[in-house]
Amino acid sequence: MSKSKSKHMKKLFFTACCMLFIMTGCVKAQPPQPPAPEEMAKMETDQMKKELSLTSDQISQTEAINLKYAKKMGEMFNQGPGGDFDEMRKKMEELMDQKRTELANFLSADQMKKYDAMIGEQMKNRPGPPR
């Protein structure tokens, strides 16, 4: 192989390596995807079981409600960026209020206090602009 072809091959190899490095960085730079609604509902139900001492009847009701609202939240997030942040937050707050109302139908007053404290702590520790 001639020297010019060798230099050309080295430049080509170097360029390919640089492109691969840049593309790998771009892939890693993608924002993390939120968990699937089923996974989100399971995590929330598990936390509620522990913190609220749910009965077996309450667990099944809680699982259904958590899944219902996780799917609704997921639909909102899947609409993609570019929407009105304040409008989205307002809709999320409405969904959370609806969910709380449904939970209050079968949770005791003490469990609701614990639930409200749990949600308050989550909201305080969430990323994003302050409320």
Domain boundaries, the chain: 1-30, 37-125
* pLDDT over 70, % of the chain: 68
Q: How many CB atoms lie within 10 A of CB 38?
A: 13
How many residues appear in the chain? 131
Rounded Cα distance between 65 and 37, Å, is 12
Residue 1: band (very low, low, confident or very high) from pLDDT cuts 50, 70, 90 = low
Token pair listed for 69:
């609202």
Q: Which of 65, 58, 67 is nearest to 108 (CA)?
A: 58
Confidence of residue 31 (pLDDT cuts 50, 70, 90): low
Region for residue 128 given its phi and psi (left: phi exceeds 0; alpha: psi -120 to 50; beta: otherwise): left
Report residue 55 CA to chain centroid gap: 27
Q: What is the pLDDT of residue 88?
A: 81
Amino acid at 38: E
What type of residue is 59?
I
Q: What is the pLDDT of residues 75-99, one digit of tens each?
A: 887 776 666 778 888 888 999 999 9
Residue-level pLDDT at 24: 58
Q: Which amino acid is at 71?
A: K
Banded pLDDT at 15 (limits 50, 70, 90) = low
pLDDT band at 54 (very low <50, low <70, confident <90, very high): very high
Is the confidence at residue 56, as pLDDT, over 80? yes
